[in-house]
């Protein structure tokens, strides 16, 4: 590649640390797509002949076919995907291949290829999240009336509906979807034509190549074009937040599948057995989704550390941007697909959910609210009265609905038998009709909204 300047080949250690072909060959499709756009632009602007451009186009299609069929021989001595493609192109078409690199550098070439690849993964993440959200909405629709315990601090707090709980995750993943769409919009500018860092003296048409590659516009500063990797960092940031949400969902599935909770069942499709304990059904898919989060968060931190001390413009450190992004993208898309599969497979156990919903004095807040509404009591006073009643029920070994009216009236004489109407879990959830509340009619309203959004 640079024999005119260097008399000797690289040391074996340098060759090993310098080569990136083992992983950046994943950019082959993007590299060839960008090269085809570049060659067409060079011909359209008169920088190379149309016959050379046609030879390059046909040759690149042949290279792509060889790569897709598995017959292409990648060579580590050629360092990266760009030189592997160019070298094979020269074998196929001869001298015209040498004109392809006119008015570009590997610096803007790799920046373009990598943007195209990350942009595609943003699209894949959006599609995967939409599928997951549809699965959650389907669960919510089926369980709009199904009562379950709501938790704070993993302690029973208030009764909620299954549908409401499912839609909480739909909201989370909708924000993740928005982050990937935002990241895609920001990265959708073309570095191609920035060359090494200063642009080029050739009369190129950067608008043409940007349009051909589906970019909104060319990047405005050639130094920034070859230096910027924040598009990859933003993709990893969105991935890390999304993975955190996936991990929270996976953790709940692990808990819910346990014998102690027994809230849901997963089929054989998403569980495994034990090599020694024949009774076991382990939620391994959920546990592995939970674990993938560490890899994705690590990739985000790793790339941030690579970039934090780099002066402008391009440095070879940037070669270390790809492996962790590739791995994080693979991990994320697999985790999203696994989560969708589990949600579609998951079967709630209504009896266990209902029994748990009534434990832990979960309607205590309903009692306090009743005291405020019916007796005009300040909420802080109602809170104190309710706490006293909870203590009495706990001492008697019953729930609030099991307390005799006389016992309640000893704490506050204004309490009437009407109070028992708010102490059932069904009445509790039905009363939460505020916007975004857990009442079944609110859940159905939100389900209808999401079905319209997701199509």
Positions annotated as catalytic residues are 153, 274
- DSSP one-letter string for 438-449: --HHHHHHHHHH
List C-alpha distances in Å: 78 to 15, 342, 356: 9, 44, 64
Structure tokens at 23: 């992983």
d(CA 235, CA 87): 32
Backbone angles phi, psi at 261, to 5 degrees: -95, -55
**Please, where are the H alpha helices in 143-193?**
162-187
Cα dihedral 164, 168, 173, 179, rounded to 10, equals: 130
| 217-218 and 189-190 beta bridge pairing | parallel
> What is the number of other CB atoms lying within 10 angstroms of the CB of residue 289?
26
Number of H helices, E strands in the chain: 18, 6
Give the residues across from 217 on adjacent strands: 189
In total, the chain counts a number of residues equal to 455
């Amino acid at each position: 590649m640079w024999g005119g300047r260097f008399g000797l080949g690289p040391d074996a250690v340098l060759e090993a640390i310098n080569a990136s072909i083992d992983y950046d060959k994943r950019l082959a499709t993007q590299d060839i797509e960008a090269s085809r756009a570049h060659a067409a632009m060079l011909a359209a602007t008169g920088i190379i002949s149309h016959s050379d451009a046609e030879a390059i186009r046909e040759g690149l299609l042949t290279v792509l076919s060889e790569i897709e069929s598995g017959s292409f021989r990648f060579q580590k001595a050629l360092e990266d995907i760009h030189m592997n493609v160019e070298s094979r192109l020269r074998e196929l078409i001869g001298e015209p291949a040498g004109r392809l690199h006119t008015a570009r550098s590997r610096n803007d070439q790799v920046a373009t290829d990598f943007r195209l690849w990350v942009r595609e993964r943003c699209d894949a993440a959006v599609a995967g999240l939409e599928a997951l959200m549809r699965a959650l909405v389907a669960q919510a629709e089926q369980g709009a009336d199904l009562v379950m315990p709501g938790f704070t601090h993993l302690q029973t707090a208030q009764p909620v509906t299954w549908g409401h709980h499912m839609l909480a995750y739909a909201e989370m993943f909708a924000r993740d979807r928005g982050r990937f769409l935002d990241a895609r919009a920001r990265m959708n500018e073309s570095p191609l034509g920035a060359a090494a860092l200063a642009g080029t003296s050739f009369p190129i048409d950067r608008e043409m190549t940007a349009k051909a590659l589906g970019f909104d516009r060319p990047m405005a500063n050639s130094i920034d074009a070859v230096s910027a990797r924040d598009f990859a960092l933003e993709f990893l940031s969105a991935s890390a937040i999304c993975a955190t949400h996936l991990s929270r969902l996976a953790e709940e599935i692990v808990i819910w599948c346990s014998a102690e909770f027994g809230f849901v069942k997963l089929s054989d499709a998403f569980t495994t057995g034990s090599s020694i304990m024949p009774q076991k059904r382990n939620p391994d898919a959920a546990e592995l989704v939970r674990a993938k989060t560490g890899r994705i968060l690590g990739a985000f931190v790793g790339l941030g550390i690579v970039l934090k001390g780099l002066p402008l413009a391009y440095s070879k450190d940037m070669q270390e941007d790809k492996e962790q992004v590739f791995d994080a993208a693979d991990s994320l898309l697999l985790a999203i697909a696994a989560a969708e599969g589990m949600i579609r497979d998951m079967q709630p156990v209504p009896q266990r959910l209902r029994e748990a919903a009534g434990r832990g004095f979960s309607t205590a807040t309903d009692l306090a609210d009743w005291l405020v509404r019916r007796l005009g009591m300040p909420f802080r006073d109602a809170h104190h009265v309710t706490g006293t009643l909870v203590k009495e029920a706990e001492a008697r070994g019953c729930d609030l609905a099991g307390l005799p009216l006389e016992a309640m009236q000893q704490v506050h004489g204004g309490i009437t038998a009407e109070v028992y109407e708010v102490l059932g879990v069904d009445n509790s959830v039905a009363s939460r009709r505020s916007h975004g509340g857990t009442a079944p009619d609110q859940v159905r309203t939100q389900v209808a909204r999401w079905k319209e959004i997701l199509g």
